[in-house]
Amino acid sequence: MNSVAPVYGLILAGGASTRMRTDKAALRYQGKTQLERAFDLAGRHVLEVFVSVRSSQITEPTRAAHPLIVDSVEGEGPIVGIRSALAAYPKAAWLVLACDLPFLSDAVLEQLLAERDPTALATAFRSAHDGLPEPLCAVWEPAAGAALAAYQRGGGHCPRKFLIGHAAPLLEPRDPRALDNINTPEEYAQAEDALSPIARTDPMQLTIQYFALMREQAGRSEETLETAAATPADLFSELTLRYGFTLSREQLKVAVNSEFSDWSRRLSSGDAVVFIPPVAGG
């Protein structure tokens, strides 16, 4: 391995959505389809994003607006979409995302890409529910193309079992809810409720001021940044990935616009945020 493959994004939207009884990709949260949300999220982290479709779906309006990778190999299920992408751009690695993960965040993708092992066939998260690999929020490396083809020739079809069989490195998601998927109308309703008070579709500008230990670890006393973080808690996760803060959220307080705030407050563009390490006046 002499170089690390560039990463493209692949949104899987070919599923039949039988339990949902409607097209999952077209489900909306805050006016934006699941497919658009996943596409925009991935687009903030990789060079280019494609939507994986079956040949029968290429004119379907939710999908047709995006660059497509049409299934080009035989078989059923997500393994076909992943293999088709690896075949279409054999030198690229693929950030593969199912479109039905409404709680995915920038922080989750930053963790995945930062901790990716390019010498493995793939890097995935370990599910908080069953401890098994989550193949549909993972980075698949170019070498996985041939290995997946061999696996399918041997009768395999499940990308999760493939990852287990090849001992793919597994990451612990910092936000265990991030990989919850939705399969039923009830789960959709719950997710929509959970997202509605904090959902945000566009990045906004925030000012962050740093003091004391936080200032030293961030290497700056102030910055203005674009973020999709909906709450101070999300923002702290995002910045901890960037700066490696040693204090945990439980040890800090947070202020928004020079007043103490809840971690779950909804942030607005232009807000000024300060993370307050343990104080020591006197």
Partner 1 sequence: MHFRFTDAAIDTASARRELLDRGAGGYVSFEGWVRDHNEGQDVTRLEYEAFQALAVKEGDRILTEALRRFPIKHALCIHRLGSLDLTDMAVWVGVSAAHRGEAFDACRFVIDEVKHRVPIWKKEHYRGGNSGWVNCERCAVAPRHPHEHGHDHGHDAA
Q: Residues interacting with partner 1, by CB under 8 A?
A: 209, 211-213, 246-247, 250-251, 255, 258-260, 274, 276-282
Contact of 99 with 24, CB cutoff 8 Å: yes
198 phi/psi in degrees, rounded to 5 = -120, 0
Whichever of 168 and 233 has its CB closer to partner 1, that residue is 233
Contact of 233 with 251, CB cutoff 8 Å: no
In the complex, least distance from residue 259 CB atom to partner 1, rounded to whole angstroms: 7
What is the C-alpha separation between 256 and 119, in angstroms, rounded?
A: 42
Q: How far is CA 29 from CA 9, 112, 182, 246, 254, in A?
A: 21, 24, 12, 35, 28
Whichever of 154 and 244 has its CB closer to partner 1, that residue is 244
List of residues 6+ apart from 160 with CB closer than 8 A:
132, 133, 134, 135
Ranges of H-type helices in the chain: 34-43, 61-64, 78-88, 106-115, 144-153, 159-165, 185-195, 212-218, 232-243
Whichever of 198 and 255 has its CB closer to partner 1, that residue is 255
Whichever of 228 and 273 has its CB closer to partner 1, that residue is 273
In the complex, least distance from residue 114 CB atom to partner 1, rounded to whole angstroms: 23
Whichever of 158 and 255 has its CB closer to partner 1, that residue is 255
Q: How many CA atoms lie within 13 A of 19 on its CB side?
A: 9
In the complex, least distance from residue 95 CB atom to partner 1, rounded to whole angstroms: 34
In the complex, least distance from residue 252 CB atom to partner 1, rounded to whole angstroms: 10
In the complex, least distance from residue 91 CB atom to partner 1, rounded to whole angstroms: 44
Tokens encoding 76: 């059923």
In the complex, least distance from residue 214 CB atom to partner 1, rounded to whole angstroms: 9
Whichever of 146 and 260 has its CB closer to partner 1, that residue is 260
